């Protein structure tokens, strides 16, 4: 179990899994970690990661209402499972600030573009009930509003497109080429690894691509059905971007100050150089994207091959220096 990395997962899927995990563990006192991980189709490390979060959940933030779950490394023990039983349930009471925060958040979520209409109506009905029960706090919350950043709307559209199996049209900014392109994609899944991404089949490149949501300048859900080819979902535990064997090969030489490249970029080999640097061989579907890496390295590294990419990187560096002179 030790040493095996935990895979980045879709936050929505993880939430659903943890809710199911609560029911599963309540019915199986002393369940074995290996058995539970197998039942949920996850690694033991992923299960332990979930178990680290569950004790922060409960019916309230009072100590006795939080889930008292721990493990001895082999079995899982839930010491206060009865706290979630119907006989222990108490009417939920919200303080004025809690009610205000809940109402403001609910109204903001209800305005998200791309939200399913049935979900929006259900949320508005629940909000109305809370507003009535909150009294004066509900009136105060009506004077507050929250506007989500654009990524929230993009997330909602992508989530809806995945659910309804529809194609997306996007205008996407690529920092590697410093350009905005238009493309149609068949979304496959949402992934959170620091930022939120959509993994999709890109109809422009006819290949699997990963798009960062905060770089989507514009998005539309199309009437055309999403029809990505049958492809195996990748294990993203090692890295979000995983090159394929057929991708072009690039060789980069870095000095001691650039050894971090071997830690952040998946690579085929990293050979030691006499000066303490590395000769790194890697693959990428878009070699031009490494020009930015070359500029970032400065004197700590250079692209060796392919020659045309090395020439392009040198030209980009000269243009950058010329801009500073001006």
Of the given ranges (27-31, 101-105, 149-153, 322-326), which has the lowest mean pLDDT?
149-153
- Asked whether the predicted pLDDT for residue 8 surpasses 60, the reply is no
CB 212 within 8 Å of CB 197: yes
Separation CA 321–CA 326 (nearest Å): 9
Average pLDDT of span 106-122: 70
Ranges 41-50, 96-105, 137-146, 149-158: which has the least confidence = 137-146
Taking residue 259's Cβ as centre, other Cβ atoms within 10 Å add up to 17
Lowest mean pLDDT among 68-82, 99-113, 142-156: 142-156
Q: 3-class SS at 191?
A: strand
Maximum separation of any 2 CA atoms in the chain, in Å: 75
Tell me what percent of the residues of the chain surpass a pLDDT of 70. Answer: 75
- Residue 5: its pLDDT value, please? 42
Query: With 60 as the cut, is the pLDDT of residue 63 above it?
Result: no
**Better-scored residue on pLDDT, 231 or 113:** 231
% helix, strand, coil for the chain, step of 5: 45, 25, 30
Q: Tell me which residue of 281, 189, 282 sits closest to 236, measured CA to CA.
A: 189
Q: Which pTM does this prediction carry? A: 0.41
Please check the confidence at residue 264 and state whether its pLDDT lies above 60.
Answer: yes
Most confidently modeled range among 96-105, 110-119, 179-188, 243-252: 179-188
Rounded average pLDDT over 29-54: 86
Res 169: pLDDT: 96
Mean pLDDT value of segment 130-134 = 77
Distance CA 326, CA 317 (A): 15
Residue 166's pLDDT is what? Answer: 95
Percent of the chain past pLDDT 90, that is, above it, reads 14
Mean pLDDT, the chain, whole residue set = 78
Check: CB of residue 49 under 8 Å from CB of residue 40.
no
Which pLDDT band, with edges at 50, 70 and 90, does 6 fall under?
very low
User: What mean pLDDT is predicted for residues 283-308?
Assistant: 82
CB-based contact 279:261 (threshold 8 Å): no
pLDDT for residue 168 is more than 90: yes
- pLDDT band at 1; cut points 50, 70, 90: very low
Asked whether residue 87 carries a pLDDT value surpassing 60, the answer given is no
């Amino acid at each position: 179990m030790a040493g095996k990395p935990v895979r980045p997962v879709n936050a929505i899927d993880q939430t659903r899994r943890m809710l199911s995990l609560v029911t599963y563990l309540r019915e199986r006192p002393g369940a074995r970690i290996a058995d539970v991980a197998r039942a949920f189709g996850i690694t033991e490390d992923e299960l332990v990661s979930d178990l680290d979060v569950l004790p922060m959940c409960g019916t309230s933030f009072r100590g006795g209402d939080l889930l008292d779950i721990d493990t001895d490394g082999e079995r899982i023990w839930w010491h206060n499972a009865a706290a979630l039983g119907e006989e222990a349930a108490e009417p939920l009471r919200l303080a004025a600030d809690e009610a205000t925060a809940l109402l403001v958040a609910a109204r903001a979520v209800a305005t998200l573009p791309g939200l399913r209409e049935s979900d929006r109506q259900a949320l508005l009905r629940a909000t109305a009930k809370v507003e009535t029960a909150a009294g004066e706090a509900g009136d105060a919350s009506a004077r507050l509003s929250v506007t989500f950043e654009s990524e929230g709307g993009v997330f909602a559209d992508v989530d809806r497109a995945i659910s309804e199996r529809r194609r997306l049209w996007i205008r996407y900014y690529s920092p590697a080429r410093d350009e905005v392109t238009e493309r149609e994609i068949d979304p496959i899944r949402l992934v959170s690894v620091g930022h939120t991404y959509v993994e999709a089949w890109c109809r422009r490149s006819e290949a699997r691509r990963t798009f960062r949501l905060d770089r989507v300048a514009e998005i539309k859900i199309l009437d055309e059905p999403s029809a990505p080819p049958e492809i195996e979902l990748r294990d993203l535990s090692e890295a979000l971007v995983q090159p394929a064997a057929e991708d072009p090969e690039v060789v980069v030489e870095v000095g001691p100050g650039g050894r971090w490249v071997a830690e952040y970029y998946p690579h085929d080999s990293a050979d030691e150089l006499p000066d303490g640097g590395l000769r790194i061989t890697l693959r990428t579907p878009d070699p031009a994207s490494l020009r930015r890496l070359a500029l970032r390295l400065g004197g700590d590294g250079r692209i060796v091959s392919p020659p045309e990419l090395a020439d392009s990187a040198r030209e980009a560096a000269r243009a950058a220096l010329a801009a500073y002179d001006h």
